[in-house]
Amino acid sequence: MIGSLRKVSNNLYKKSKIYKSLRWIISLRFFHFTFRFLIASFFLDKLDSHNPYKGIISKNLGFYISSVSKDCVKTLKRNYYENYESQCKVNIDKTNISAFDEIFGIIKKPIIDYLGAGVKLDGIYYFVSKKKSKKDIYDNVSVNWHTDNVGARLKVFVCFEGDGTKPTLFIKPRNITKSLKDKIKIYFLEVIRWFGIDNNTPINSQIELRHKESSLIILDTQFLHRGALKKSISQRSMIALEFSNPEKHRFFEKGISKGPIGTVASNEFYFSNELLDCKNIYQFFDQKRISKLGKISKYEKKF
């Protein structure tokens, strides 16, 4: 009985915009979001107050675009198709360490300049948007304007397959430290989606960060961004890396302020001992998150 009611409800949710909104309103998600937003706005500036916000990411107002070599692309692609397509977990070993060494060589200065020497790697994962059929051409991952509501946190996307037709849209702030006016603008743009209403209207100041083969893009998810709703059948395959300051993770661990930051099941990864000699990468590792499993190690959240 409950199962069939749920089925009817889910069908209606897909077909009727009014029903969709009603369900969101009844679930009081907008209220939850507002409460969380207010708490976070108050504490986040404090949690992020030690960030130096210097260097190229700050100069660009929240993002940085670079590229990796053809060899790096080749290695990531080979690894993904040979080993990980079904497993989906990243494994850094002697076959691909040069690719990761190159990536970390490019990103280390911009990341430390921006988030400070205390910044750590939270995780690495494959972020793949599969090739679509002609009937089903839209991607529907995070297409509404949003911030990740965890304050300053950098995501790095290294594209090893893609033609740039599935970009991330990003709104540059006027200042790297948000004014009250910026916060109010972010709140009203974000709260709409918690009423079940799609909010993906183009905004004059938006820029397109195009993910195409060999592009390396860093962005700070505390600023408004979304996946572009573009007609594209092409595949976009990327490695995503997340960086933040672990000191503030506790704030997001439970209760109303619980948020998507730190090391979780979806971004944990494996690495072999060769990595220990690679300072570019290893300097970003948080020792507390390493589990030794014989010849390999796992980077994961430990309690």
Q: Which residues bind Fe ion (CB under 5 A)?
A: 148
Residue with tokens 């210097």: 54
Stated as kind and residue range, the H or E segment containing 146 is none
Shortest distance, position 278 Cβ to Fe ion, whole Å:
29
Residue with the CB atom nearest Fe ion in the bound state: 148
Task: List the structure tokens of 1.
Answer: 């009985």
Q: Are 227 and 168 contacting, i.e. CB atoms less than 8 angstroms apart? A: yes
Shortest distance, position 18 Cβ to Fe ion, whole Å:
27
Shortest distance, position 2 Cβ to Fe ion, whole Å:
33
Nearer to Fe ion, 252 or 271 (CB): 252
Nearer to Fe ion, 148 or 163 (CB): 148
Nearest of 56, 84, 61 to residue 238 by alpha carbon:
84
Number of other residues whose CB lies within 10 A of the CB of residue 285: 16
Shortest distance, position 158 Cβ to Fe ion, whole Å:
17
Nearer to Fe ion, 144 or 272 (CB): 144
Shortest distance, position 130 Cβ to Fe ion, whole Å:
19
DSSP 250: G
Nearer to Fe ion, 37 or 271 (CB): 37
Shortest distance, position 289 Cβ to Fe ion, whole Å:
22
Q: Are 55 and 113 contacting, i.e. CB atoms less than 8 angstroms apart? A: yes
Nearest of 198, 238, 199 to residue 218 by alpha carbon:
238
Shortest distance, position 259 Cβ to Fe ion, whole Å:
11
Nearer to Fe ion, 101 or 148 (CB): 148
Shortest distance, position 43 Cβ to Fe ion, whole Å:
20
Cα distances (angstroms) measured from residue 88 to each of 102, 151, 227: 22, 28, 21
Q: Are 171 and 203 contacting, i.e. CB atoms less than 8 angstroms apart? A: yes
DSSP string, 158-180: EEEE-BSSSPEEEE--SSSSPPH
Nearer to Fe ion, 78 or 185 (CB): 185
Measure the CA–CA gap between 247 and 120, rounded to whole angstroms. Answer: 10
**Cα first-last separation, the chain:** 40
Nearer to Fe ion, 176 or 219 (CB): 219
Measure the CA–CA gap between 32 and 256, rounded to whole angstroms. Answer: 8
Nearer to Fe ion, 93 or 148 (CB): 148
